[in-house]
Amino acid sequence: MGEKKKEQLLEELFEVQKMLEERTEIQGQMIRKFQTIIANEGLVSQIVDFFPYPMAIFTAQYTVVMANKAFAVETKIGFENLERGAVRVLLNKVDDGQLLAAVTGVFARDTFFLEDLKNPFSMFSGIIGHIAPQPVRYNKAVVFPV
């Protein structure tokens, strides 16, 4: 093997090693950021849990991934159902047009302030034996992206 070919191979190997080191650094940064998010999630969920109003966070697939205690009490949904992904937003059960627009439009980064809602909890699956809310109770909602 000629001396020039050896030098060329060594240069290529050095470039590949440099590229791998850069990727490893980027992955390390991503992992550190993810760990920070995970570490702070517990605090955020604890704060949300103490809100006096029912709150639910759902994904673009309409699966509820988090709900606070007030939501669980009002809907009689146990937190064990949330862990299994059993609670979903059922678009075919959203009777209120403004609520349907908010639920589907929130993923376009829009925020909605809704009033005069009629039984907004009926749009969630897994609610068994739910008593209809009182007329003035929970007839307003804010739907916003997180």
Domain boundaries, the chain: 1-50, 52-146
Taken as a whole, the chain contains a residue count of: 146
Listed range (8-12, 22-26, 32-36, 53-57) with the worst mean pLDDT: 32-36
The mean per-residue pLDDT over the stretch 22-40 comes to 71
pLDDT-derived band at 135, boundaries 50, 70, 90: very low
The pTM for the full model equals 0.60
129 Cβ neighbours under 8 A, 6+ residues apart: 76
Whole-number Å distance between alpha carbons of 83 and 70: 17
pLDDT of amino acid 37: 61
Tell me how far apart the terminal alpha carbons of the chain are, to the nearest angstrom. 60
Q: For residue 142, what are the β-bridge partners?
A: 113
The mean per-residue pLDDT over the stretch 80-92 comes to 76
3-class SS of residue 114: strand
The mean per-residue pLDDT over the stretch 4-9 comes to 86
Whole-number Å distance between alpha carbons of 31 and 29: 5
